[in-house]
Amino acid sequence: MANVKVVERGVSGSENLQEQEEPAAAVPPPSDGSVTVRLHKPVNAFGKMHDSLTFREPTARDIYEVGNPVDVEPRTGAMKFDPVIGADMMARLANVPVGTITNQMSAKDWLSCQWRITPFFVPQGEPALPGSTS
């Protein structure tokens, strides 16, 4: 999964406590369509601590195999996020174990990640066809 980038937290012990407590903030998105979210509290994945996670853009296969975590009511635009499908999808898109998402991530970080990946799963309208004037 070459499009997945996980930013690691240093293990030297020289991190400033204030830096660890900064609110989750969006990092400018990479040009490949992925979304990076800085976490309030680091999480462990595959034996390494991460203070941010990058979620690659999902494919149709991801939705087919995991499900769409966002249900949009077409008449009102109201959205409902399925937490089970959402956790599975976050783990898949960030290339981390689902336990990293469900057992280690703070509620604040989970919600930040949920909202940052939501645009991947809601309709954006039809793209213009080549040569169309509308």
Query: Which pLDDT tens digit goes with each residue over 37-77?
Result: 999 999 999 999 999 999 999 999 999 999 999 998 888 88
Q: What are phi and psi of 119, to 5 degrees?
A: -60, -25
pLDDT at 127: 60
Identity of the residue numbered 89? M
CA 2 to chain centre: 16
Q: Which of 16-20, 33-37, 68-72, 75-79 has the lowest mean pLDDT?
A: 16-20
CA-CA distances (angstroms) from residue 10 to 3, 16, 49, 51, 82?
A: 22, 11, 8, 9, 33
Strand pairing category for 26-27 and 70-72: unpaired
Average pLDDT of span 16-42 = 63
Partners of residue 81 on adjacent β-strands? 70
Tokens describing residue 11 = 């293990």
Higher local confidence (pLDDT), 129 or 20: 129
Q: Cα separations (Å) of 39 from 4, 31, 66? A: 17, 21, 24
Q: pTM of the prediction? A: 0.70
